[in-house]
């Protein structure tokens, strides 16, 4: 087990630098998970704008009922009736809407006519709540004038009650497009784990293989009595043990983040998915190690590949927000299928075999990536050996 021991001597010699990277990535993942906030459960909720009302029709009962209705639909704000105070309130968004009711407003409505002069309305620029308030008020006035023209001898209180009953009829709002899906904190941790796992694996494996790929050491190993198969087997076993150790550490941290509260089947699926992704990262690191010649290239390659694949695969941006072209490109990376599997696992309500088949297919695709990348890396090793020979 000389090669196996030599691998861990290299790891021990670079343990401090690896540990720093590992702790930084873990801290990054945990920090993002801790500050994660679940989306609000309600998709639609009416907003009550802040409104200032100046009433110059103080003695009219219809106007009083109209103002009472407005106060039930909005948050009334007191503002001094001065030009400078009104402008400041609008500018600093202290109010969204200012309404001035002219004298004789209620009397004109009771006669069945639209008020002249019209209501004076001021709203904050580029504020949709002010536009919605305009629509509410216009509808109230038009219905009031319509009822007053067609209902003989109706009193102001009866007119207000009739209009408010008509306006009380609401339509149920249901958003079918872009339905928001929630995701729990543990699944959020496993999604971000993709970035930490890939970066740590590339840095760790390439650090070990960078030593063994040195020309002088490689020639010495080729001339040693240890045959090539046993040499490669011990090297692979050491890297595999390193990968499993990193995965186990990441999974134990997920238990601290709350994964132990999940259903056992869900936790096992998340563990299997992350383990398969770890193997894919291991194979990718084997392949990249054939092209790494210095520590600077190693760190640059780890950052670019880890960040690049995570950005297009749905780690930092939800997959449903990515365009079709981006998702097609991302589908050629194991990170995409890993994140897709985490999302599928988090949305499961039943764990029967037919329900988890799609998740198992995503895991098998990641395993296929691991096998394919390992085959390419072995072919690269053979080609390089033949070229150097």
Say whether both 29 and 94 belong to one domain: no
209 inside domain: yes
Say whether both 162 and 213 belong to one domain: no
Between residues 234 and 40, the one the model is more confident about: 234
54: nearest Cα among 122, 147, 134, 146: 122
| pLDDT recorded at residue 187 | 80
Confidence check: pLDDT of 174 > 70: no
Confidence check: pLDDT of 12 > 90: no
174 inside domain: no
Say whether both 133 and 36 belong to one domain: no
Give alpha helix (H) positions in the chain: 2-13, 15-34, 61-73, 83-91, 105-110, 128-150, 156-167, 185-212, 215-222, 228-256, 264-289, 295-313, 324-330, 334-346, 353-388
Say whether both 96 and 187 belong to one domain: no
| pLDDT recorded at residue 361 | 94
Say whether both 58 and 119 belong to one domain: yes
Say whether both 218 and 157 belong to one domain: no
321 inside domain: yes
> Mind listing the pLDDT tens digit for each residue in 25-61?
677 767 766 766 555 444 445 567 788 888 888 878 8
Say whether both 84 and 220 belong to one domain: no
Say whether both 245 and 373 belong to one domain: yes
Residue the block writes with tokens 């941006």: 317
Q: What does the block give as tokens for 323?
A: 């365009």
How many domains does the chain divide into? 2
Say whether both 10 and 152 belong to one domain: no
Confidence of residue 179 (pLDDT cuts 50, 70, 90): very low
| pLDDT recorded at residue 170 | 62
Supply the CATH number for residue 59's domain: 3.40.190
| pLDDT recorded at residue 335 | 93
Element spanning 55, H or E: strand 50-55
Confidence check: pLDDT of 180 > 50: no
Confidence check: pLDDT of 247 > 50: yes
> Mind listing the pLDDT tens digit for each residue in 257-301?
777 788 888 889 999 999 999 999 999 988 888 887 777 788 788
- Identify the domain containing residue 260 by its residue range: 2-40+181-388
| pLDDT recorded at residue 3 | 67
Between residues 309 and 213, the one the model is more confident about: 309
Mean pLDDT of the chain: 79
What backbone torsions phi and psi does residue 77 show, to the nearest 5 degrees? -120, 135
End position of a domain, from candidates 167, 192, 222: 167
Say whether both 101 and 79 belong to one domain: yes
Rounded to whole angstroms, the Cα distance separating 81 from 65 reads: 22
Across 62-71, average pLDDT = 84
The Cα angle at residue 302 between residues 297 and 303, in degrees rounded to 5: 105
């Amino acid at each position: 087990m000389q090669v196996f021991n030599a691998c861990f001597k290299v790891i021990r010699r670079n343990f401090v630098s690896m540990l720093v990277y590992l702790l930084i990535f873990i801290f990054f993942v945990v920090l993002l998970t801790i500050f994660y906030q679940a989306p609000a459960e309600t998709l639609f909720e009416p907003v009550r704008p802040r409104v200032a009302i100046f009433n110059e029709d103080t003695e009219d009962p219809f106007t009083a009922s109209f103002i009472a209705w407005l106060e039930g639909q909005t948050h009334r704000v007191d503002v001094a009736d001065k030009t400078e105070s009104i402008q400041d309130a609008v500018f600093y968004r202290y109010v969204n809407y200012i309404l001035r009711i002219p004298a004789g407003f209620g009397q004109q409505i009771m006669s069945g006519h639209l008020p002249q002069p019209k209501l004076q309305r001021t709203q904050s620029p580029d504020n949709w709540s002010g536009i919605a308030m305009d629509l509410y008020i216009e509808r109230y006035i038009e219905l009031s004038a319509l009822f007053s023209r067609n209902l003989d001898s109706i009193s102001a209180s009866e007119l207000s009650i009739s209009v408010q009953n008509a306006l009380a009829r609401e339509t149920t709002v249901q958003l079918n497009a872009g339905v928001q899906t929630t995701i729990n904190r543990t699944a959020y941790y496993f999604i971000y784990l993709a970035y930490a796992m890939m970066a740590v694996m590339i840095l760790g494996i390439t650090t070990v293989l960078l030593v063994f790929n040195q020309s002088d050491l490689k020639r010495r190993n080729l001339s040693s009595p240890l045959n090539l198969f046993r040499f490669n087997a011990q090297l692979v076993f050491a890297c595999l043990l390193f990968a499993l150790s990193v995965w186990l550490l990441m999974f134990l941290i997920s238990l601290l983040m709350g994964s132990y509260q999940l259903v056992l089947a869900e936790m096992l699926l998340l563990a299997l998915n992350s383990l398969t992704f770890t193997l894919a990262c291991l194979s990718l690191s084997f392949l990249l190690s054939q092209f790494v010649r210095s520590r600077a290239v190693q760190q640059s390659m780890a950052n670019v590949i880890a960040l690049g694949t995570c950005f297009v695969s749905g780690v930092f941006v939800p997959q449903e927000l990515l365009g079709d072209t981006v998702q097609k490109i991302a589908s050629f990376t194991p990170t995409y299928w890993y994140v897709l599997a985490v999302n599928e696992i988090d949305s499961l309500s039943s764990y029967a075999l037919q329900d988890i088949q799609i998740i198992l297919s995503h895991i098998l695709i990641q395993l296929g990536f691991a096998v394919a990348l390992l085959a390419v890396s072995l072919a690269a090793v053979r080609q390089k050996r033949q070229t150097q020979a």
